[in-house]
Structure 1
Amino acid sequence: MRKKIVAGNWKMNLSLEEAQSLHSEINDALETSEFNCEVYHFVPSIYLSTLLESDQKVNVGSQNGYPAKNGAFTGEVSMSQLSGIGTKAVLIGHSERRQLFNESDILLKEKVDAALEEDLKVFFCCGETLEERESGQYKQTVIKQLKNSLFHLPSKEFAKIVIAYEPIWAIGTGKTASPEQANEMHKSIREAIEHAYTQEIAQNTSILYGGSCKPSNATELLNQSDIDGGLIGGASLKSEDFLKIIATYN
């Protein structure tokens, strides 16, 4: 059975005090309640060491990482440095990294390889623009992203990947793919994985939905047949909202 996962992506938000408070609130709540999913916080890199110190229910991951182990890459943090401080997971290929920082499929492939070499769990993001959705090219776009950056991996390594489908037109816009639209894309991703690998690997791969998921629509979205959880943006910055989404799997 594939794992259910609820992951919060804080992006470039929160002061250190706010980050510690939010992380503690979620951990404390999960200590005293039943939950049937894995929970992650993807946090700004400057908070990783602080948040990794505590004994916790919430896994802490990085929002980014650089593929080279060391060198003249001012401002970057390597996958080996992330692993060295105890980071367990890394977010790769988020639409904001692709669009704002021009990260190519080739670079993302290098990041995936470097992360897996350091035994980091990879959360790989993929998704289409509004133009690609409206032109009917959305499935081809997403599957091409997977082929270019993931499908070179041997089966044993691919088994360590979590995929997050995030329609770019539904991120930070308040728009959300309908449950049917989201599930259709998740099924297509799973079929592509089966074609590249095996049915067993496809059925065991967790595919998350990331696109304006919030308490009001979480139950309907996350209970779809091929949606295995959520990559949550804005709603992960409020403990009450994030806990309500986690409670979808209680």
Structure 2
Amino acid sequence: MIFAANFKMNHTRASTKAYLDALNQKLASKRSEDRVFIFPPSTALDHYDGDFTIGAQNAYPEKNGAFTGEIGLDQLDEFGIKTILIGHSERRDILGEDQALIAQKFSYFKSKGFEIIYCIGEALEVREEGEDTVMVHLLSQFKGIDLAYEKLIIAYEPIWAIGTGRSAKVEEIASTHSTLKKHFDRPLLYGGSVKPANIKEITAIEGVDGVLVGSASLEVESFTEMIFC
């Protein structure tokens, strides 16, 4: 099982270090087959020792250059970062990243051998149109994405369930994951208001290979409770 924590615009360098120190102590007894990913804000990227993988929430698809406010391969290489989150709905919908830019990022970081957690998801109005419409929308988000890439992990996050406290129903997750799995043979995570109260029922769903956790991962006790569920 994969457990990925996306801190988004939360935590500082100091609080991230304290979090990871505490997490590492708890992970000493985790299941050997489980993998743990942490995506801190870019200001907290660093070399950290532990039984977890540190990834970048975002980066520009260049080594360096005149891209104000961005980080690139040089900055990631400094800390040995080889994992990145691409396609998150907040970058698509709030920050305006279109599929062409997302695919460009994917191709660039694929060429550099990064492990990529690639996010897809639909808005509530799409979900309300029915499963067929949902799948057309989700599959459109794979345009320009190499689904055979061996270092690809996919995360399905219904946008209407992110940060709302409302997770998708078990039946909705199971159906969507089952249909998606017909199109690729890569690990598939679920994200969207995952928390200690629902982690067991979500990870028990066939076709769910792990979770991408937002707000419930910000406290180390909450996140480790999910890892050891």
Q: TM exceeds 0.5? A: yes
Structure with higher helix content: 1
User: TM-score, length-normalised on structure 1?
Assistant: 0.87
Could you say which residue in structure 1 is the equivalent of 2:205? 224
Contact 1:83-1:118 within 8 A present in 2 as well: no
Higher relative contact order (CA 8 A, sep 6+): 1
Q: Decide whether the 8 Å contact of 1:129 with 1:168 is kept in 2.
A: yes
Match in the other structure for 2:140: 144
Match of residue 56 from structure 2: 62
Give the CA deviation at 1:70.
2.3
The answer to whether the 8 Å contact 1:123/1:162 transfers is yes
In 2: Cα distance, 1:159 partner to 1:28 partner: 30
1:95–1:154 Cα change, 3 Å: closer
Contact 1:43–1:61 (CA under 8 A) maintained in structure 2:
yes
Does the CA contact (< 8 Å) of 2:11 and 2:40 recur in 1? no
Quick check: 1:184 aligned with 2:175? yes
Per the TM alignment, residue 16 of structure 1 is displaced from its structure 2 partner at its CA by 2.3
The answer to whether the 8 A contact 1:44-1:62 is kept is: yes
Contact residue 35 and residue 246 of structure 1 kept, 8 A: no
In structure 2, what residue type is equivalent to 1:44? P
What's the counterpart of residue 116 of structure 1?
A: 110
Q: 1:163 aligns with which of 139, 149, 154?
A: 154
Q: Do the aligned partners of 1:186 and 1:227 also contact (CA within 8 Å) in 2?
A: yes
SS in structure 2 opposite 1:7? strand
Q: How far did residue 184 of structure 1 move?
A: 1.1
Q: 3-state SS of the aligned residue for 1:164?
A: strand
**1:190 partner amino acid:** K
Alignment pair present for 1:27 and 2:24: yes
- In 1, Cα distance between the equivalents of 2:71 and 2:104? 14
CA distance in structure 1 between the partners assigned to 2:180 and 2:9 by the alignment? 29
Which of the residues 230, 234, 240 maps onto 2:221?
240
Q: Cα offset for 1:23?
A: 1.3
List aligned pairs for 1:186-201, cutoff 5 A.
Answer: 186-193=177-184
Which runs of 5 or more structure 1 residues have no equivalent in the other structure? 194-201
Q: Where does residue 37 of structure 2 map in the other structure?
A: 40
Q: Partner residue of 1:12?
A: 9
Distance 2:220 2:116 in 1: 24
Identity value in percent:
38
SS of residue matched to 1:110: helix
Shift of 1:109: 0.6
CA separation in 1, counterparts of 2:22 and 2:40?
A: 15
The answer to whether the Cα contact below 8 Å between 1:79 and 1:114 also exists between their aligned partners in 2 is no
Distance 1:154 1:122 in 2: 11
Tell which deviates more after alignment, 38-47 or 23-32: 23-32
